[in-house]
Amino acid sequence: MAIRILIADDHAILRKGVTALVEKQPGMQVVAEAENGLEAVSLARKFLPDVVVMDISMPKLNGLDAAMQITRGLPIKVIILSMHENEQFIERAFRSGASGYLLKECTFSELINAISEVTAGNKYLSPAISHTVLKKFLSGEAAAKGKNLRDDLSPKERRILQLLSEGHSTKDVGRLLDISIKTVETHRQHIMEKLDLHSIAELTKYALRHGLTSL
């Protein structure tokens, strides 16, 4: 039986390219494509693929929070594609339920290998960064930094932060999340207090640094 795969990336050329290459592999089938995190979650629940290959930075819902929703209660493996080599992103990815983490500059053969590994029940970390991560974890630095990052914001606060940093108005955020404008403003104030930030520009910079959104 073929490995059923969902490809999620907001760049159409990259998404179509990966899909075309995967489709040529014997024993692999792309069952759906998604252009943002919300669509990835919806299509994953609809098609129940074996593996989701997902960009870390996507509109509407970032890849890490999407991975958390996809893997919650479903036997779906998620591989995160990222430009970030920082161990904080890697730890967050695996804590969000991902089974694999690849740099976007990886070769296609490495992606195929990662898909095979996670389908077999293993974890996969790009060899290009595994030695750096291991060194950090052995020193205890990653655990301390990762904890601070994870504890900053709740999933709902991360979602609101992402939408605000993408240029959505308070009214738009309220409509998208089905909450009142006042509730959005309250969450925004709490986010600023937690992060000690004082403007939308500073919130946007934070979101970019932590992979919640991309330019």
What is the fold of 3-138?
A: Rossmann fold (3.40.50)
Note the pLDDT of residue 142: 47
Q: Rg of the chain's alpha carbons, rounded to an integer?
A: 17
What is the layout of strands, in order, in the sheet containing 28-34?
28-34, 3-8, 51-55, 77-82, 100-103, 124-125
CB within 8 Å of 121: residues ≥ 6 apart? none
* CA pair distance 202, 208, nearest whole angstrom: 10
Chain centre distance of CA 52: 11
Q: Which of 123, 127, 105, 103 lies closest to 115 in space, CA to CA?
A: 123
Both structure tokens of 109: 């053969």
User: Could you give the CA distance from residue 91 to residue 169 in angstroms, rounded to a whole number?
Assistant: 31
State whether the Cα torsion 31-35-41-46 is positive or negative: negative
pLDDT of residue 149: 44
Whole-number Å distance between alpha carbons of 58 and 62 = 5
**What b/e readout covers 95-126, taking b as 16+ CB neighbours within 10 angstroms?**
ebbbbbbbbeeeeeebbebbbbbbbeeeebbb
Predicted confidence at residue 116, as pLDDT, reads: 95
Q: Do 3-138 and 153-209 have matching folds? A: no
Query: How deeply is 167 buried, as exposed, middle or buried, from its count of CB atoms within 10 A (0-12, 13-18, 19+)?
Result: exposed
> Rounded to whole angstroms, how far apart are CA atoms 70 and 73?
8
Does residue 214 sit in helix, strand or coil? coil
Question: Can you give the pLDDT at residue 18?
Answer: 92
Terminal-residue alpha carbon distance, the chain: 39
Q: What amino acid is encoded at 140 in this protein?
A: G
Q: Where are the chain's structural domains? A: 3-138, 153-209
- Mean pLDDT by runs of 10 across the 215 residues of the chain is 94 92 93 96 97 92 92 94 83 90 90 95 86 61 46 81 87 90 90 86 82 68
pLDDT at 141: 52
May I ask the CATH architecture of the domain 153-209?
A: Orthogonal Bundle (1.10)
Q: According to the model, what pLDDT value does residue 131 have?
A: 65
